[in-house]
Structure 1
């Protein structure tokens, strides 16, 4: 039986940023969900500083796919080679290379190469993978270009924080409250609508309307990946409010001898061009950071306290 045909694609973009800044964004794959639109979650399984294994979740043609990849980082050459070890159908094999070439002190060219095969050379499968690879590559390169060209401001535009609540009770009802997000419209006051699809256990795609303290309503769309054995739920907003270019987060439930600590973690990239539209003509990055910190922190802390009440009331009801 003949081997499947190897299909190859090339995507590239010129970036008005130093090659080192561009390479740094590519090398830090764990932060890709915050920087690259298709990526939902990246888990580093192994790393020795040069070679790493990653478990990745991403959207492809509107569906959530997961795979495991091995990457080899060559910072001196500004290259990253990758090869999927466990692929998601219809992909049989997939690999490629990120290449960053300096053109000038503040100019670079970024090239992304892919090669892939499809089981049985199924034409529909080949078309599906070509379309997903093209769509995702274009989105990744464009977003990376935008971020890299603001590399000097990136630390100001990225905001990460967390809030925690102590629960005098077991972990199971706390996690169950956070997992059963379809119940939130009747349990969480700031959630007015929520539609949920869970075609694969533990991978949730949802659309939600929330209300902020000033009475305004926001519609967000998210993908959540649930790890019940670890007490974690990670998520990526795939449609964000106007002030955020990206938003990722995690709910975690950590037990100890007398109860659990439940934590909500957020990471956000501010959409700088919308700050004055949303917060007024005199607003800047510092005000936007405070606004996001307060708005997200207020809602997530309210949800944490409701999870606490749910878990502790379950104990007293026994």
Structure 2
């Protein structure tokens, strides 16, 4: 059996906020549509303290995309993992990592898109299109909005002499 082909994409942004603040925003997928305007909806189907299964819908420009994902929470690390269970990105693994920097936290979102079950999406071209035109734009918007919110929250919690 041939090995699964993987398309890897990662994006990072430095945020002037503590990891705990950013993690709290990022792990709360049910609230994403309230502060991430490109997310149309998130419906949590199952939930335990460290795991959720949710149906998620977002927009890439005017194109609606939808998938179901399992979210695994690792607050002590901190790390958030998603595994796409359905949709065009079925099988994709996503990891959010949070690394300390002198000015706050570097947040990285990594996407590993393995060979998909749909024949049309198994080609290198199809994986490149999915990564370039859907995954990256949605992740870029998500990180930009998370940065703005986390930095605003961090700024609001500073003592007056720190501002």
State how far apart, in whole Å, the 2-side matches of 1:49 and 1:100 are: 20
**Shift, 1:116, TM fit:** 0.6
State how far apart, in whole Å, the 2-side matches of 1:123 and 1:52 are: 31
**Correspondence for 2:54:** 54
**Correspondence for 1:126:** 127
**Correspondence for 2:83:** 83
**Correspondence for 2:108:** 111
Question: Is the partner of 1:37 in helix, strand or coil?
Answer: coil
- How high is the TM-score relative to the length of structure 1? 0.44
Structure 1 vs Structure 2 CA RMSD: 2.1
- How high is the TM-score relative to the length of structure 2? 0.83
Are the aligned partners of 1:37 and 1:140 in contact in 2 as well (CA < 8 Å)?
A: no
Return the index of the structure with the highest Cα Rg. 1
**Shift, 1:129, TM fit:** 0.8
Q: Name which of 148, 153, 159 aligns with 1:151.
A: 153
**Correspondence for 2:6:** 6
**Correspondence for 1:272:** none
State how far apart, in whole Å, the 2-side matches of 1:112 and 1:33 are: 19
Question: Is the partner of 2:128 in helix, strand or coil?
Answer: helix
Between the two proteins, the alignment pairs up a number of residues equal to 152
**Shift, 1:113, TM fit:** 0.5
State how far apart, in whole Å, the 1-side matches of 2:124 and 2:8 are: 15
Specify every segment of 5 or more residues in structure 1 that has no aligned partner in the other structure, as ranges. Answer: 155-318
Question: Is the partner of 1:70 in helix, strand or coil?
Answer: strand
Shift of the 7–40 alpha-carbon distance from structure 1 to 2, 3 Å rule, reads: same
Residues 263-289 of structure 1: per-residue CA shift (max 9 Å, x gap): xxxxxxxxxxxxxxxxxxxxxxxxxxx
State how far apart, in whole Å, the 1-side matches of 2:49 and 2:17 are: 25
State how far apart, in whole Å, the 2-side matches of 1:93 and 1:129 are: 13
**Shift, 1:92, TM fit:** 4.0
**Higher RCO (Cα < 8 Å, 6 or more apart):** 2
State how far apart, in whole Å, the 2-side matches of 1:148 and 1:92 are: 30
Are the aligned partners of 1:84 and 1:93 in contact in 2 as well (CA < 8 Å)?
A: yes
State how far apart, in whole Å, the 2-side matches of 1:10 and 1:152 are: 25
Shift of the 4–38 alpha-carbon distance from structure 1 to 2, 3 Å rule, reads: farther
State how far apart, in whole Å, the 2-side matches of 1:152 and 1:5 are: 40
**Shift, 1:23, TM fit:** 0.6
Residues 111-133 of structure 1: per-residue CA shift (max 9 Å, x gap): 10101134442244223211211
**Shift, 1:3, TM fit:** 4.3
